Chain A
Amino acid sequence: MKRRDFIKSTAIAAGGLLIPLDKSDASLWDTFFQKYFREMTPEEKKNLAKRLENEYKEKTGVNINIKTNEALPAVKFAYGLDLSRCIGCRRCVYACVTENNLSRNPQVQYITVLEFKNGEKWVSDLEESNKYFDHKEQPEPGHFYMPVQCQQCDNPPCVKVCPTQATWKEPDGIVVVDYNWCIGCRYCMAACPYGARKFNWAEPQVPSDQFNPNTHYLGNRPKFKGHVEKCTFCIQRTRENPGKYPACVEICPVGARKFGNILDPESEISQCIEKKRVFRLKEELNTNPSFYYFFSL
């Protein structure tokens, strides 16, 4: 018996005790008995999205669109970051917050920019870095910067430890989370060697007039208290034909961020891998990230 079926039959056996039936809200019932996303038909996914759109509309009066489209064929996303160019200005951090509807308070941010003193030992020792650097202008002389976000591993330790299969790797390489399925145990956060997964400690707050209405079910749709989220390479932007670059790539003033299809030899990311000496973070852990760092100099 599958987990949900078990809960379902138990709940029914309990005579609806678990569910406040006086509310007799179809939406509540549907929420409770939602099927596993990956086993839904496209039709079921659409209905689910509709329901969530309506819920958001009821709560805020604002119309949003929640897409459920699948990975494009023959696409495997990868990302490159040129450490000789990054100046630590944090424009990427806030472009991401804005695009992905990340909670403003409590604060959730997918990208962490690390500052290192020149010559300091690093990579092997990210602990030596400073995430709270505070200068008027960037870069601060004598320092270099390394932004870290989800590395979209091909061998993702976070996925393996999830007890409910609420997180998985999509065919285009994006590791996603189904927030409706996540139970908030945070095993994945402990398993991630990059600190890339973020937890909603309280009800996330995004002013509805600041909410980006172009969303994806597996990405920047409305989120709730008590579940984990993370960078999805801006799935709502990139998983389209034509698809935009992720928000962090588009905003970067120094052009340090590269993105594209690693199966296309002409893409910027394939060119970086071919022409520059790239490396990946904590390579020795065999997580096999799709996120490449390099020095163009």
Chain B
Amino acid sequence: MRFREYAVAIFAVLALCMLPQTAAADQDEPKVTTTKPPLTEGIFPCSNCHASMPPNKEKRDLSFHTEIQLKHGDNWCLNCHDLTNRDMLHRASGELVPFEKLYKVCGQCHGNIYRDWKIGIHGKRVGYWNGEKTYYLCVNCHNPHSPKFKPLPALPVPAKPLEITKVKPSVPVMIEDKKLYIPETGK
């Protein structure tokens, strides 16, 4: 074996050894495309207001953001939102996390679910089964402030066997950005 080939072979072996390690380092930060965090339009950057406000760690009744009713274990705002950089979330370690990667914040307390989400068992992926996928963020399904999954309106009951020819006209309904056709319900 000539030196160059030898070097290449060694390099290849080294590269192979490195691979799992890189993967391990990345384990908390999956390389994925996600949906955008569904923040209310105009609210971001939060620092527009918060930069000029003195940080206040105190757990209290707020005079602002009153639409937010925390029903999430015994969490307080600052378990997730950062005290001094309001445009970011943070982990218990102090590591700042942008809203786009909020799963890293949720994942600290919901480790099993986070693991399932990363491999596609919890939550949802759209796009291509053999190509690019978009992962739904946790907050597409769970309001982070009251995360219990909310009931959804039911779609029409199927016709009983003797009534399958008496179905009401088919009309469109929009569900998220999808148009579905359902029998007219008259509701």
Query: Which residues on A are within 8 Å of B, measured CB to CB?
Result: 72, 75, 82, 87-91, 93-95, 97-98, 104-107, 109, 112, 131-139, 201-202, 206-207, 210, 238, 241-245, 250-255, 258-261, 264, 267-268, 271-272, 275-276, 296
* Bound: A268/B120 CA distance, A: 5
Known A-B contacts A107-B167, A244-B128, A261-B129; the reply to A253 vs B178 at CB < 8 A is no
Known A-B contacts A251-B178, A275-B119; the reply to A241 vs B131 at CB < 8 A is yes
Instruction: Please list 8 pairs of residues, one from A and one from B, whose beta carbons are closer than 8 Å in the complex, sorted by A's number.
Output: A94-B156, A94-B181, A107-B158, A132-B157, A201-B165, A258-B120, A258-B121, A267-B120
Give the shortest distance, in Å, between A27 (CB) and chain B (any CB). 29
Q: Are A255 and B179 touching (Cβ within 8 A)? A: no
Contact for A95 among B116, B127, B130, B180, CB less than 8 A: B180
Q: Does B183 contact A (CB under 8 A)?
A: yes
Q: Are A276 and B121 touching (Cβ within 8 A)? A: yes
Known A-B contacts A106-B165, A131-B158, A201-B164; the reply to A251 vs B175 at CB < 8 A is yes
Known A-B contacts A104-B167, A255-B122, A296-B122; the reply to A260 vs B178 at CB < 8 A is no
Q: Which B residues between 98 and 138 are near A, CB-CB below 8 angstroms? A: 116, 119-132, 136
Cβ contacts under 8 Å, A206 to chain B: 170
Give the shortest distance, in Å, between B124 (CB) and chain A (any CB). 3
Q: Does B160 contact A (CB under 8 A)?
A: yes
* Bound: A241/B179 CA distance, A: 24
Give the shortest distance, in Å, between A142 (CB) and chain B (any CB). 13
Q: Are B128 and A272 touching (Cβ within 8 A)? A: no
Known A-B contacts A91-B180, A268-B125; the reply to A243 vs B130 at CB < 8 A is yes
Q: Does B155 contact A (CB under 8 A)?
A: yes
* Bound: A93/B157 CA distance, A: 10
* Bound: A87/B154 CA distance, A: 9
